[in-house]
Structure 1
Amino acid sequence: MFGKSLKYEFRAVARRVIPLFLTVLAISVIIALVLILDGRVLPPAMVENSTMFRDTLEIAQVFLLIGLYLMIFASGIAVIVMTIRRFYTSFFTDEGYLTFTLPVSVDCHLMTKIVSAIIWSVLGSLVICLSFLVIGGGALVGYGAQADFWEMVSGLFRSLGEVYGALWREYPGQTVLLVIYAAVSALFQIMLIYFGISLGCMVTKKHRVIVSILCIMGVNVVFSILEMFLTVFSAFFSVFITNEVYDIVLLISLIVLCVIKILLCYLGTKAILIKKLNLD
């Protein structure tokens, strides 16, 4: 049943998000074609001697890049908004009556929303990476590997490789823990939003959006204070251990705290949906 629920949820979000993803990729292809046109197809003398044509081409590239950035931003916002909207409409509107008549447990409903949000976040990141790869491919075909664009990109990746390579060689444990902490923190943000929405819809029948936002902010402040106390408390022991050990202990503590926050948000959301559900 989980597979069927996830499939339905995926389709519901796809109707709104997929067109935006396709628009981002389409703009990327157009930009790549413009770069190929400028670098390979048009005669160099034509571009160099025609000031108007060169200016028009540059303006077109600028507007296309602006459009691409706007569409990437819109796609990211759309993924967030749609996952939040699907959670709200599935549980706290008239659709909630249908949702809870299905022979599916609350845990299955929640896991469907969580997995769907993770999948769409990953897909959004892949679309962004693919769009830049398409533009990079257009620049490579149009101007060659010696173009300023590719020199800048290669220099950037070379610098990043050196930085992360040095981190991995000198601090392998901290690097792995930092990646794990980033992953669980992202999952916590999803659960925090779900718990805040559930809490806001439980305490009021009106102005649910505003109250839910306030609940999200309030819960986040409480958790942030706990995290701050943990950091300060662990700092007292830093004088007794080496910096490397302290970093590892601190990161492990933050990961454990983040997992606890995820469980609290999950259990709180589940309890509200089971015992305090308000569909009025």
Structure 2
Amino acid sequence: MLGKLLKYDMAALSRVLVPVHIAALAVGLVAAACFFGCNWIDSAYNGWSGSSGFSASILVMLAMTGAFCLFALFMASAATFFAIVHRFYKNFFTDEGYLTLTLPVSANLHIASKVIAAALWLLIDVVIVGFCAYFASMAAMGFAGDFDETIPYFMLMSSYGFSSIESFASFMLAGSTSAMQVLAMVLTAYAAFALGSALAAKHKVAAGIGLFFALSWAAGLVHSIKSVLLATSFMYESSYNYAAANMLSSGVSLVLYLITSIVFYAVCVYVIDRKTNLA
């Protein structure tokens, strides 16, 4: 039964997200072309000092167009998140929920299907948006740079304490932490809208949005406390190892995101099974 639910959820998401990511690929190619043009003009005229007024204007126009395309590219990720959460809310807490909840399927299978579909589309989004961002970054360097100079690398660094990712282990840890962080964010939204729909007689969407920000703030506070505690514990070490500290911090974050995901998954199952009232 899980397979049938997953097929249905994937089809519903794909109707929206396939066109979004086709557009993202097109926008990524435009961004790469713009940045490559910037690199070519900069090399041909030896930078701004050698550029004529016309070439400088073209350089500015290409740079602004490329930056706008990058912004639009990352909006595809925001659209993916929004579509996933909207699918969850619509399927359970609108008129569609009357049909969904009459199916002879447990709440656990319903939530599992939603989570798997979300994870698959988030993976697709990361591959497409990450490739486009990498391609555009390389184009900006005339395809002569290294991976550690690209946008995806700096995004991974954000999950690794903004420290250099120098080994395969640290790369996998940063990637796993980033993936679990995004999945935890999705489950936070699921739990927020489930609780909002169960607790609020009216304005359920507003309640869900408010709870999402509240739960996200609480999770952020926990991670801030974690960072302070780890920094304090390493502060008094005579042989401070920055790389080891970052691996430990990223590992603890990974565990916290996993615990958050499990807790909010359980909240969703409980609310769908016991507290959902569409009246």
Per the normalisation by structure 2, the TM-score is: 0.71
Secondary structure (helix, strand or coil) at the match of 2:109 reads helix
Matched, 1:205 2:206: no
2:188 to 192, 212, 216: 192
**Number of aligned positions between the proteins:** 256
Aligned counterparts of 2:147 and 2:177: Cα–Cα separation in 1: 29
1:151 to 144, 156, 166: 144
Change (3 A) 1:211 1:105: same
**CA deviation profile, 1:118-154 (whole Å, cap 9, x unmatched):** 11112122222444677799x7xxxxxxx96223567
Matched, 1:116 2:117: yes
Higher Cα radius of gyration: 1
Change (3 A) 1:76 1:249: closer
**Percent identity between the two aligned chains:** 23
Partner of residue 22, structure 1: 22
Q: How does 1:56-75 map to 2 (within 5 A)?
A: 65=66, 68-69=69-70, 71-75=72-76
Aligned counterparts of 2:91 and 2:175: Cα–Cα separation in 1: 32
Q: How far is the alpha carbon of 1:21 from its aligned partner?
A: 1.7
Aligned counterparts of 2:171 and 2:135: Cα–Cα separation in 1: 30
Q: How does 1:243-262 map to 2 (within 5 A)?
A: 243-244=240-241, 250-262=249-261
RMSD across aligned C-alpha pairs, in angstroms? 4.2
Q: How far is the alpha carbon of 1:23 from its aligned partner?
A: 2.3
Secondary structure (helix, strand or coil) at the match of 2:213 reads helix
Aligned counterparts of 1:115 and 1:98: Cα–Cα separation in 2: 21
**CA deviation profile, 1:217-262 (whole Å, cap 9, x unmatched):** 2223333334444444556654479645665655544433332222
Change (3 A) 1:55 1:179: closer
Long gaps (5+) in structure 1: 37-50, 140-146
Q: How far is the alpha carbon of 1:28 from its aligned partner?
A: 5.0
Secondary structure (helix, strand or coil) at the match of 1:122 reads helix
Structure in which a larger fraction of residues adopt helix:
1
Change (3 A) 1:181 1:133: closer
Per the normalisation by structure 1, the TM-score is: 0.71
Is contact 2:183-2:261 (8 Å) kept? yes
Aligned counterparts of 1:232 and 1:148: Cα–Cα separation in 2: 37
Is contact 2:70-2:133 (8 Å) kept? no
Aligned counterparts of 2:225 and 2:107: Cα–Cα separation in 1: 34
Partner of residue 269, structure 2: 270
Is contact 1:20-1:71 (8 Å) kept? no
